Structure 1
Amino acid sequence: MTREEVLEPALAPASGGAVPGVLEPTGTDIRDGAHRSLSPAQAVAVALAGLLAAIGVALDPGSAMVMVHHLFFAIFLLGGLTRLAAACTPLPDTPAPPLADADLPTYTLIAPLYREAEVLAELVQNLAALDYPHERLQALIVLETDDETTQDAADELDLPAFVSVLVVPPGTPKTKPRACNHALDHAKGELVVIYDAEDMPDPGQLREAAARFAASDPRLACLQAPLRIEDPGFSMFLPSQFRLEYAAHFEVLLPALARWGLAFPLGGTSNHFKAAALHEVGAWDAFNVTEDADVGFRLAAAGYRLGVIRRPTWETAPTAWGQWLPQRARWIKGHMQTLFVHARGRVPRQPRNAAALVLTLAQSVASSHLHGPVMAVALLLAAIDWLPDGDITLPLWDLMLYALGWGSAAIAGARGVLRAGDRPKSLHLLGMPGYWLLQSLAATKALYQFVTAPHRWDKTHHVPRSGPVAP
């Protein structure tokens, strides 16, 4: 094949206008995206809050510490109790009746890749394994102009007829959402799904999503499939915690939010959209490094609903600190971008969406920044108390609150692992507090980049699977 924008003519174009590589929302009042981190009013508010905090610490550091302490526990318990409530919430309704092949809508699969030649053949194999009529599929593998290695790898493959390679014209920012917007401009499916390079979607996932859309009301605009981390087969701390975290988030929290009728931040992959709704809200914000979280709340702000399906997509976990830290910092930075964008948009005037934004992104961003410092102070005070002349004692109430928060999160994690068809491991659950401390290191990097390099995209490197995947 050649390095051209080759598109199969079998599918009819989806409704909606052309979407350029940068954000131009239509049909909503959200025209101020993440290309501007803070509005002038937000910049003044942040500067004033920082000044008042500095004055407070200088005048009365003890009272300032108490205030931070109470703030942390309020945020910590909000997150823990939300997950506990989610773990006690039944899954949403059973899957809709399947559609006959003749009734299946056309589907566009968008897979943006950058410097991932090693996994390209595996990705194509996984897409070809999807149980969906190929004549109703259009798969766009989206590559960057300067990624000649992956382009060469694509040239050497015998691609299925429904798979095409699309090269994004040079431009900035060079981000995944910009590549997705370029692909959406060429998408011909009524439904659109995003897959990452390392994804192995369940073969029946497209059919389940199509059936749910057909059986639901027209305001359902997006369905999120659960992302499941493959068992690495050995007990490494980061992969095991990453897997537990994904189980709690995608198997427990998001289904509960969907059942409660609340919006939620989408995952970076395996989100199935109605193309028309995606066009209406302007597709993805090319400057937001967590475009998935942002577009979910923009759909909700425009009056659309989000839902979940049950057939998963298998992914691999980062195994090394050098992989995990940049990825996590990018996520936290992007969630900060999304918070500030929607705080100056329509969401604050929509109580349900505002509550959802607080329960998800605001809570996680605040917790990731506060958890490490507050825990470090607590450990320091405990160490002083254990010294011969120490006279500081951690209140029993604090220990009870820590236990309640950690216990709630552990219940959600264990529930998620069970729903994913596995058995939770006690050692992994006990390791969760240590993992949360690492989140604060990532949050520090995220805050620094939010100020110095808000649109920088730290790429996560993926390698081919070396063994069988859990069923």
Structure 2
Amino acid sequence: MGQIAFLGIAAWRLLTVMVRLRHLAEAVETPAASVLPRYSIVVALYDEAAILPHLVERLANIDYPPELLDGYLALEAHDHATIRAARALTLPDWLHILVVPPGSPTTKPRALNHALSIARGELLTVYDAEDAPDPLQRREAAARFAVEDGELVCLHAPLRIRRVHKGRDRSPFLDRQFAAEYAALFDITLPAMARMGLPFPLGGTSNHFRVSALRALGGWDAWNVTEDADLGFRIWRRGWRLGVLSRPTYETPPGELAHWLPQRTRWLKGYMQTLSVHTRSASGMGWRGWAALALTIGSALASAALHALSVAWIGIFFLIALLAQHLPSTPWFGLGVLLSGAAASILTTAIGARLANTPFGPRDMLSAPLYWSLLSLAFAHAFVRLIAEPHRWDKTAHRPDVAREESAMILEPLVADAGRAAA
């Protein structure tokens, strides 16, 4: 049964590729909205004093009427360093410092909920400290919401990984694999699922919401450490839809293993929480909701749990064959399942990387199983942490990726693109 399930996951990945490529040429520019709504922007920050100037610089380049923007830097009351850094900066008139009152849990979703309670926009988007969003992203989202019916309540922008300052590239293997993984998810899987009308787990940034719907849902689950993944399925349960945008947000990778592992541990722990919550009740899910939950959250957890064992099994098989100079007794079906799953995953990643203009060459393909094995390490950590510290938030360290004057390497192409579109 397990082998059939993994063949199903491989077939699912190939299906998402076919759906994405089939509709790729059909993508058309959404007409500009005739009347732009007020737009709230929220960035929940903790221990981000170093990167804050870069974030503010990028937010200031947003192409949207300033009088219609309503932005908040949501800061924890005990994070004195980031509060001081924020107050020392010259902020755009529409961007405000919002100190979240002390309370429990001290998590990003709790800070977002506090900002949601006072946000004045009809639409709202969330960013992270390291984000460099396309300046025209809000205009695209506003136009999509204007022409779609009220059942579409969330649009997800693609996230693309870029490390500009090569001198700080201490972990090229992890960075390249992380970027390619993002490309497969945000340029293949999520657009295909949106096209098929299926729910999907949201990423933690660059989600654009109708504020009325978000408030009706009660905002984010403050106790779930992947509140974004949970929210995607709560939207579906209410009979609403999710979609995707074309204009991306650029992010930097977490870097070396000491930063990558806690982040991935938190994600997998949150996936376990989300799976536990959404399997308690069948209300509003339907077979399509259950299928989407299994093919995203479920398959991510199952794959992470088994990657290292699968890679080790294949390695031992070929090592024995090499030493004995003949093939041992071979479970060909099982071996075929593993190889077909790996091939489908690499194909999906390679095509996604091409669409996202992310490097993923033959050397990256060959080393991908090593990266997958690290997911098993994160899974083991997540399982232990779910039992010992279920609601602890493992903070990802963000550092400036570029010197401030070098940040134009990211910003100038985006601003130029915005200018061309406006013209």
Regarding TM over 0.5, the answer is yes
Q: Distance in 1 between the 2:359 and 2:310 partners?
A: 32
* Residue pair 1:263, 1:300 contacting (<8 A) in 2 also: yes
How much has 1:387 moved relative to structure 2?
A: 4.4
Match of 1:153 among 82, 85, 89: 85
In the TM superposition, what whole-angstrom CA distance separates every residue of 1:196-234 from its partner, at most 9, and x where no partner exists? 000000000000000000011110000000000004556
Q: Does 1:186 align with 2:127?
A: no
The one-letter amino acid paired with 2:79 is D
**What's 1:86 paired with?**
16
Secondary structure at the aligned position of 1:431 is classed as helix
**What's 1:125 paired with?**
57
- For normalisation by structure 1, the TM-score amounts to 0.81
In the TM superposition, what whole-angstrom CA distance separates every residue of 1:89-122 from its partner, at most 9, and x where no partner exists? 124742321124xx00000000000000011111
User: Sequence identity of aligned pairs in percent?
Assistant: 47
How much has 1:397 moved relative to structure 2?
A: 3.3
How much has 1:76 moved relative to structure 2?
A: 3.4
- For normalisation by structure 2, the TM-score amounts to 0.90
What 5-or-longer segments of structure 1 have no aligned partner? 1-69
* Residue pair 1:194, 1:271 contacting (<8 A) in 2 also: yes
Q: Distance in 1 between the 2:218 and 2:282 partners?
A: 15
Change (3 A) 1:430 1:383: closer
Q: Distance in 2 between the 1:149 and 1:423 partners?
A: 37
* Residue pair 1:78, 1:359 contacting (<8 A) in 2 also: no
Change (3 A) 1:424 1:388: closer
Q: Does 1:298 align with 2:234?
A: yes
Q: Does 1:404 align with 2:336?
A: no
Q: Distance in 1 between the 2:396 and 2:389 partners?
A: 17
How much has 1:384 moved relative to structure 2?
A: 4.1
* Residue pair 1:115, 1:150 contacting (<8 A) in 2 also: yes
Q: Distance in 2 between the 1:388 and 1:425 partners?
A: 33
**What's 1:427 paired with?**
363
Q: Distance in 1 between the 2:277 and 2:303 partners?
A: 20
How much has 1:393 moved relative to structure 2?
A: 3.2
In the TM superposition, what whole-angstrom CA distance separates every residue of 1:4-42 from its partner, at most 9, and x where no partner exists? xxxxxxxxxxxxxxxxxxxxxxxxxxxxxxxxxxxxxxx
**What's 1:224 paired with?**
156
**What's 1:20 paired with?**
none
Which segment drifts farther, 195-204 or 75-84?
Answer: 75-84
**What's 2:279 paired with?**
343
**What's 2:48 paired with?**
116
* Residue pair 1:347, 1:354 contacting (<8 A) in 2 also: no
Change (3 A) 1:410 1:231: farther
Match of 2:134 among 202, 208, 214: 202
Q: Distance in 2 between the 1:444 and 1:348 partners?
A: 32
**What's 1:9 paired with?**
none
Number of residues of Structure 1 aligned to a counterpart in Structure 2: 399
**What's 1:259 paired with?**
195
Q: Distance in 1 between the 2:76 and 2:7 partners?
A: 43
Match of 2:94 among 133, 156, 162: 162
Q: Distance in 1 between the 2:93 and 2:328 partners?
A: 71
In the TM superposition, what whole-angstrom CA distance separates every residue of 1:260-307 from its partner, at most 9, and x where no partner exists? 000000011000000011011111000000000000100100000000
Q: Distance in 2 between the 1:410 and 1:387 partners?
A: 28
Which segment drifts farther, 190-199 or 77-86?
Answer: 77-86
Change (3 A) 1:75 1:446: farther
How much has 1:375 moved relative to structure 2?
A: 3.0
The one-letter amino acid paired with 1:469 is I
How much has 1:376 moved relative to structure 2?
A: 2.5
* Residue pair 2:132, 2:410 contacting (<8 A) in 1 also: no
Change (3 A) 1:87 1:390: closer
Q: Does 1:250 align with 2:250?
A: no
Q: Does 1:107 align with 2:48?
A: no
* Residue pair 2:180, 2:359 contacting (<8 A) in 1 also: no
In the TM superposition, what whole-angstrom CA distance separates every residue of 1:114-145 from its partner, at most 9, and x where no partner exists? 00001111111111101000100011000001
Q: Does 1:173 align with 2:114?
A: no
In the TM superposition, what whole-angstrom CA distance separates every residue of 1:42-100 from its partner, at most 9, and x where no partner exists? xxxxxxxxxxxxxxxxxxxxxxxxxxxx52x3443333322221111124742321124
The one-letter amino acid paired with 1:269 is T
Instruction: Output the aligned Cα RMSD.
Output: 2.0
Secondary structure at the aligned position of 1:380 is classed as helix
Q: Distance in 2 between the 1:75 and 1:324 partners?
A: 29
What 5-or-longer segments of structure 2 have no aligned partner? 414-423
**Higher percent of residues as helix:** 2
Say which one has the larger Rg: 1
Q: Distance in 1 between the 2:99 and 2:54 partners?
A: 20
**What's 2:419 paired with?**
none
